[in-house]
Amino acid sequence: MTLHRIEEWQGGFAPPSKMFRGFEESRWQPHEHELVPDYHQAETGLIYGFLQSWLIDTGTEKILFDTGAGNDKERPGIPIFGGLQTDFLSRLRAAGFEPGDIDTVVCSHLHIDHVGWNTVRDEGGWKATFPNARYVLPLGDRACWDPEDETAEPSAVGKAVNAGVFEDSVRPLIDQDRVVWAESGFEVRPGIDLFAVAGHTPGHLAMRVLAKDDAALFVGDVLHHPIQIHNPDWNSQFCEDQDTARESRYSVLQEAAQRGALLVPAHFGGVHAVRIAREAGRFRPIYHPERLS
């Protein structure tokens, strides 16, 4: 299997004190030297992050994990991701792939910055960006974000930031009968399965890839930033269930450390993916020496 990183956007997002619930300066400061400049902008005080997708080419199947914010989307809840005009598809082609080459799209969860390139604007509304792909989406998130579901109860923050997302990036795929709804244990293909990491959203799924001599865990927004490896009790302000999000983070870090797996979060800057070591009951990142570009 080969892994390709397809970048959509990069930039400063928020100061850590606003991004993380439970933030304490005394627990940030000891690690700042390893975070500047790749993960934190000292001059602006903002966390530096990326929107990026991951493409796994198995040789017989091409799987795209998460699809960023997308172009032409109205995003009043997070304006920085609204009205984007990025060259994401050109970068996909530069990596050697056309949209029609993608066999499977997996979205870890149904947030604004993970489903955007599911669709592109068409004269009649929105059409599937990847015309030959099945879209594997987390069933547990549908009841949270579908505005037509009367039982949906997202938090006030979640409802605000995800305004319009289901309508333009998920509903069109449902209407076109392109969605496969998945739960924990779903096998994408032999050696690649999905597992539950609820908390950030109710149905959040991570993807475990087991190859002959290595493993990788694609964990979406279980972690937004390397500081959460040092402080796994710090949640983002966007986590729907704070306690469950912490439990999922600990579990993912533990598995990554035990397997020696490559941990691939959605938004890391720097080398974009890390290994995890556990020492004296604490986790620490091992920044992978080969930059994934």
For the chain, the domains span 2-287
Return the sign of the alpha-carbon dihedral for residues 13, 14, 15, 16: negative
The CATH number for 2-287, chosen from 3.60.20.40, 3.60.15.10, 3.40.640.10, 3.40.50.300, is 3.60.15.10
Residue 150 is predicted with a pLDDT of 87
pTM of the prediction?
A: 0.96
Residue 97 is predicted with a pLDDT of 98
Residue 291 is predicted with a pLDDT of 47
Rg of the chain over CA atoms, in angstroms?
18
Unique residue bearing structure tokens 């530069």:
94
Distances (CA, A) of 13 to 66, 81, 84, 107: 19, 10, 15, 22
For residue 60, how many other CB atoms are within 10 A of its CB? 7
Residue 213 is predicted with a pLDDT of 87
Residue 290 is predicted with a pLDDT of 53
By the 8 A CB rule, do 58 and 64 touch?
Answer: no
Residue 212 is predicted with a pLDDT of 85
Per-residue pLDDT tens digits of the chain, which is 293 residues long:
899 999 999 999 999 999 999 999 999 999 999 999 999 999 999 999 999 999 999 999 999 999 999 999 999 999 999 999 999 999 999 999 999 999 999 999 999 999 999 999 998 899 999 999 999 999 999 999 999 998 888 999 999 999 999 999 999 999 999 999 999 999 999 999 999 999 999 999 999 999 888 999 999 999 999 999 999 999 999 999 999 999 999 999 999 999 999 999 999 999 999 999 999 999 999 997 554 43
